[in-house]
């Protein structure tokens, strides 16, 4: 008969404690791999694709391994290992699961959104992003010129609701409203020229720090004003719907601001 203090039991408890530590270490390694991707891109150590296409997937695999080992440690050692081991196993399970979820979620999102990185309310004559040409070249990013008929067709199919904002107010007032909305959105204003009716700005994502360039054009339209906006990603072929969401949010906020005058 095997007792709790027998050599066999002590060896088993030691293995379970080791599994709890191993699961936690694997989970933390996965977390470090995941965070190294954007950190290295921001620091200029490697291209963002290294983070998204290499470090992130492998972080997911290591996270799953950490989660699995931690789960086994909990299942077989909940009554035999000390509180510290239980805590490590729980942390390994939670951290490993969270890290594994992000690559899975990102991979699923890739097929959800259209292959589009430039969204505008004027497909025939989009507002210019020429102000960002130097910065895009420095980052080896996308060209500032609009892609033409192909992205226009994709946008018409995917985001048919996106259209210019027609405001019942003079261009000067419409410009002020548009500038106020852009500032409220937290965008970095590069240029605001009331005479030309042009607002140029940029916005950065929180995780990888990807920069999107934004151009707003305000022009007279009959007795009122027409406001067009263009939002385009500096990097990548797809944007996971970020630019369309930004354009829609700006237009909705602008209409609300115009109606509240």
* Mean pLDDT for the stretch of residues 205-232: 94
Residues 159 and 252 in one domain: yes
| Per-residue confidence (pLDDT) for residue 13, from 0 to 100 | 61
Residues 213 and 96 in one domain: no
3-class DSSP string for the chain = CCCCCCHHHHHHHHHHHHHHHHHHHHHHHHHHHHHHHHHHHHHCCCCHHHHHHHHHHHHHHHHHHHHHHHHHHHHHHCCCCCHHHHHHHHHHHHHHHHHHHHHHHHHHHCCCCCCCCEEECCCCCCCCCHHHHHHHHHCCCCCCCCCCHHHHHHHHHHCCCCCCEEECCCHHHHHHHHHHHHHHCCCEEEEEECCCCEEEEEEECCCCCCEEEEEEEEEEECCEEEEEEEEEECCCCCCCCHHHHHHHHHHHHHHHHHHCC
* Mean pLDDT for the stretch of residues 217-232: 97
Number of domains in the chain: 2
pLDDT > 70? residue 7: no
Please give the residue that has the higher pLDDT: either 222 or 109: 222
Q: Are the beta carbons of 208 and 48 closer than 8 angstroms? A: yes
Rounded to the nearest integer, the mean pLDDT of the chain is: 90
- Which of 59, 77, 109 marks a domain boundary? 109
Residues 143 and 244 in one domain: yes
pLDDT > 60? residue 9: no
Residues 144 and 169 in one domain: yes
| Per-residue confidence (pLDDT) for residue 261, from 0 to 100 | 61
Tokens of 196: 């030309």
Q: How far apart are CA 126 and CA 51, in angstroms?
A: 32
Q: How far apart are CA 27 and CA 69, in angstroms?
A: 10
Asked, for residue 2, whether it belongs to a domain, the answer is no
Tens-digit pLDDT profile for residues 76-130: 876 666 678 889 999 999 999 999 999 998 888 777 889 999 999 999 999 999 9
pLDDT > 90? residue 57: yes
Tokens of 180: 């106020």
Range of the domain at 198: 118-259
Residues 184 and 207 in one domain: yes
Query: Does the predicted TM-score (pTM) go above 0.75?
Result: yes
Domain with residue 229: its CATH number is: 3.30.530.50
Residues 170 and 87 in one domain: no
Residues 90 and 177 in one domain: no
Tens-digit pLDDT profile for residues 118-172: 999 999 999 999 999 999 999 889 999 999 999 999 999 999 999 999 999 999 9
* Longest CA span, the chain: 95
Asked, for residue 51, whether it belongs to a domain, the answer is yes
Q: Are the beta carbons of 66 and 89 closer than 8 angstroms? A: no
| Per-residue confidence (pLDDT) for residue 211, from 0 to 100 | 94
Residues 145 and 242 in one domain: yes
Residues 183 and 241 in one domain: yes
- Which of 49, 77, 109 marks a domain boundary? 109
Tokens of 248: 């829609």
| Per-residue confidence (pLDDT) for residue 1, from 0 to 100 | 40
Q: How far apart are CA 36 and CA 43, in angstroms?
A: 10
Residues 30 and 122 in one domain: no
Residues 234 and 152 in one domain: yes
pLDDT > 90? residue 256: yes
| Per-residue confidence (pLDDT) for residue 3, from 0 to 100 | 46
Asked, for residue 124, whether it belongs to a domain, the answer is yes
Name the one residue in this structure whose structure tokens are 């007795």: 223
Q: Are the beta carbons of 235 and 192 closer than 8 angstroms? A: no
Tokens of 110: 């890739």
Residues 136 and 211 in one domain: yes
Q: What is the share, in percent, of the chain residues with pLDDT greater than 90?
A: 69
């Amino acid at each position: 008969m095997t007792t709790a203090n027998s050599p066999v039991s002590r060896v088993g408890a030691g293995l379970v404690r080791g599994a709890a530590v191993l699961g936690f270490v694997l989970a933390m390694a996965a977390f470090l791999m995941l965070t190294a991707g954007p950190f290295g891109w921001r620091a200029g150590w490697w291209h963002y694709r290294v983070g998204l296409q290499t470090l992130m997937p492998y972080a997911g695999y290591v996270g799953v391994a950490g989660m699995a080992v931690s789960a086994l440690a909990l299942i077989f050692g909940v009554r035999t290992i000390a509180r510290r081991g239980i805590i490590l196993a729980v942390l390994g399970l939670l951290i490993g699961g969270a890290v594994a979820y992000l690559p899975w979620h990102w991979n699923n999102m890739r097929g959800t959104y259209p292959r589009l990185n430039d969204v505008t309310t004027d497909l025939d004559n989009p507002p210019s992003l020429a102000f960002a040409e130097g910065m895009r070249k420095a980052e080896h990013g996308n060209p500032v010129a609009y892609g033409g008929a192909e992205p226009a067709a994709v946008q018409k199919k995917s985001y048919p609701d996106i259209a210019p904002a027609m405001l019942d107010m003079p261009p000067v007032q419409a410009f002020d409203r548009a500038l106020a909305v852009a500032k409220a959105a937290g965008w970095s204003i590069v240029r605001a020229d009331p005479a030309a009716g042009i607002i140029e700005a940029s916005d950065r994502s929180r995780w990888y720090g990807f920069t999107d360039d934004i151009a707003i054009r305000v022009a007279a339209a009959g007795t009122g004003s027409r406001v067009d906006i263009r939002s385009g990603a500096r990097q990548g072929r797809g944007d996971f719907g970020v630019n369309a969401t930004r354009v829609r949010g700006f237009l909705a906020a602008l209409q609300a601001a115009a109606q509240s005058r």
